[in-house]
Amino acid sequence: MTYADLVAALHCFGFSEQDLLTISQVKRRHRELVKSHHPDLQGHSADTAMARINAAAALLMEYLATYRFSFSEEEFYRQNPDEQLRRQFAEDSIWGGA
């Protein structure tokens, strides 16, 4: 897989390189695309679209399955901003702390 392949797969799904995606989001979008481009609904012209969609899905899922996740405290709070605010202001009397 090249970065260009990854970008093409993202664009096929309507995503961009700046999007932060979950596996669930990729699966949901794949289902939407399959429903709208299925050959039973679109005829034989949809066969190539389906092949492109399925190839993009396989590439994105491969990337997500092999991605290394960080479990650092910094990354946790970056991905959970509500918890960052709670940690930052929990003891502040204005926000209901002690």
pLDDT of residue 43: 64
3, 4, 6: which is closest to 59 by C-alpha? 6
pLDDT of residue 56: 97
Q: How sure is the predictor about 97, in pLDDT bands with cuts at 50, 70 and 90? A: low
pLDDT of residue 42: 63
**What are the Cα distances from residue 91, in Å, to 24, 97, 98?**
35, 4, 6
Q: What's the average model confidence in pLDDT over 87-92?
A: 79
The model's pLDDT over 31-77, given as tens digits with 9 standing for 90+, comes to 999 988 877 776 666 678 889 999 999 999 999 999 888 889 998 99
**CATH 1.10.287 residue ranges in the chain?**
3-67
Instruction: Write down the CATH number for the domain with range 3-67.
Output: 1.10.287
